[in-house]
Structure 1
């Protein structure tokens, strides 16, 4: 493939960037790392590490993206999808495309399709409620139900359910699935994903991390920070009692709560849309090298992000709520 002319950075130029990135990542993951040292769990924040499967140590690694040559960078030279030689170390785009080109094509299709359609704001976070509808226990989450089981079921039955996101819908209880106005599948994900969905915004982190190192780390970390915010609101609007974390519920069973949820949803859609556009822009120099007409490889149902160093088996967890 034809690559843009590389930009060379001396160690004195790139090392401060790498250090600043690591410090920013450490600040965002400090709570999780401290809890891990005490073998403690956080029912809200730990989701981003458990479901997406990216360790803090990987998040703090600085990747400049394609077209940047790093002088005196033995650390990067040891990482997957880098090549070392004159004049320095850089991302090996050809090796990445050979290994993950079809996955890249699928992700680009999904991001472009999502960006092309209008956002919808009528779901009010009720996907979380549908995950415990008529459940006989609270096996899906360690937090208690704010309204109890009967009250939770009544909210589901009194409100339209309109979830477009397959990775939320697939965790609906069997009784809740027929109540959804939409029936998303893995095969229809590209056709149904829409930018108003909180989880479509949260998944920008998944896609950025999955495409490491051809996505610059600055974008990945920004996507992670946004996903942290989205996750908190998602749980505030859920049927669970989050008061132990000092958070107020967004009572989507009420008109006021629905308005507040939609307001937050619009804000996330706007910010996620801008980040999605920047992610696509970062990928554009290499995505054209993939045969866009070839059938893309759809992600596995429980798609985790592969480690730079090894592939790890998926531990089955409930991702949302």
Structure 2
């Protein structure tokens, strides 16, 4: 078992309370509209995705954590929950107890992130995963059937068949329609996830949010929010490049069925990959703080 990370900082009450308030104010910009839509039954295929696809609840995203190795001076442990312990100066994340429960998960996330980071970014998918999810379906059958497709079903199918599909992300591939799956050059599975994921993939970069919250409260809430913010922007591109017509939601299409649209998509995808690389490196560093030296040294193939 690894040695729990030592406390390296003591935050006075004014500092940690200000950080907590700033975090809550930041995430409320995303949470308040979502919760209002949820109360009224209004669906938004772009803005609500991160709250429905991922398991982290709005209240969990809003809750501030300082990360491991930080003592909150003057804090009451009863206000922070079972992942914290009382110390002489206040409270701190109980890294020892967390490792007992989640050490294997931390090691798995570290391996996935380091192996992904070691690969070159591939930028030639042009968002065809979203098209493969509606391939050979009617308007009534598609997932977001409240929103029209930009092209006819036949034209949508032609676009899928005319473009090379090389989706490496299992959680995207598993939503392909049955006729679309044989068109993919890869056959990703959960078991081969660490062997397949690459840092240009929009979904792999959205998933940094998932790995961040699964590492919480070992990582600061601000890092989780940074990953959420990136995932939110990536989701917007994902749906702009999809076969759906979401212009009424302020999402003008990136027409990947055209050469100009594919060029635009690749530029935006590269920008997201560059931003994701920085967040992935931060998550890897957080994992490494808690892993035994042997596991840290053997994670990269």
What TM-score comes out, normalization by structure 2 length?
0.93
1:228 pairs with 2:232: yes
144, 165, 168: which is aligned to 2:172? Answer: 168
Distance 2:66 2:107 in 1: 21
Aligned-pair RMSD on alpha carbons? Answer: 1.9
Q: Is there any run of 5+ residues in structure 2 with no aligned partner, and where?
A: none
Specify the alignment match of 2:266 in structure 1: 262
Partners of 1:146 and 1:240 within 8 A in 2: yes
Structure 1 residues 27, 132: CA separation in 2 closer, same or farther (over 3 Å shift)?
same
1:198 pairs with 2:202: yes
Structure 1 residues 109, 218: CA separation in 2 closer, same or farther (over 3 Å shift)?
same
1:49 pairs with 2:13: no
Structure 1 residues 290, 14: CA separation in 2 closer, same or farther (over 3 Å shift)?
farther
Report the more deviating stretch, 66-75 or 92-101: 66-75
108, 132, 157: which is aligned to 1:130? Answer: 132
* Other structure's SS at 1:146 match: coil
Partners of 1:101 and 1:290 within 8 A in 2: no
Partners of 1:26 and 1:56 within 8 A in 2: no
* Other structure's SS at 2:55 match: coil
What TM-score comes out, normalization by structure 1 length?
0.87
Structure 1 residues 101, 2: CA separation in 2 closer, same or farther (over 3 Å shift)?
closer
State the shift of 1:111 in Å: 0.5
Specify the alignment match of 2:35 in structure 1: 33
274, 286, 289: which is aligned to 2:290? Answer: 286
Specify the alignment match of 1:150 in structure 2: 154
Specify the alignment match of 2:6 in structure 1: 4
Report the more deviating stretch, 77-86 or 202-211: 77-86
State the shift of 1:33 in Å: 2.1
Report the more deviating stretch, 7-16 or 208-217: 7-16
Specify the alignment match of 2:84 in structure 1: 82
State the shift of 1:28 in Å: 2.6
Distance 1:189 1:127 in 2: 16
Q: Is there any run of 5+ residues in structure 1 with no aligned partner, and where?
A: 296-321
| Superposed counterparts of 1:215-254, under 5 Å | 215-254=219-258
Report the more deviating stretch, 4-13 or 121-130: 4-13
State the shift of 1:78 in Å: 3.9
State the shift of 1:186 in Å: 0.8
* Other structure's SS at 1:144 match: coil
1:6-28 alpha-carbon deviations (Å, 9 max, x no partner): 32222122111111111111123
Specify the alignment match of 1:141 in structure 2: 144
State the shift of 1:99 in Å: 0.8
Report the more deviating stretch, 170-179 or 37-46: 37-46
1:177 pairs with 2:150: no
Distance 1:277 1:250 in 2: 29
Distance 1:124 1:146 in 2: 16
1:189 pairs with 2:193: yes
1:200-231 alpha-carbon deviations (Å, 9 max, x no partner): 11000011011110011111001111111000
Specify the alignment match of 2:94 in structure 1: 92
Specify the alignment match of 1:65 in structure 2: 67
Structure 1 residues 55, 226: CA separation in 2 closer, same or farther (over 3 Å shift)?
same
Distance 1:200 1:150 in 2: 30
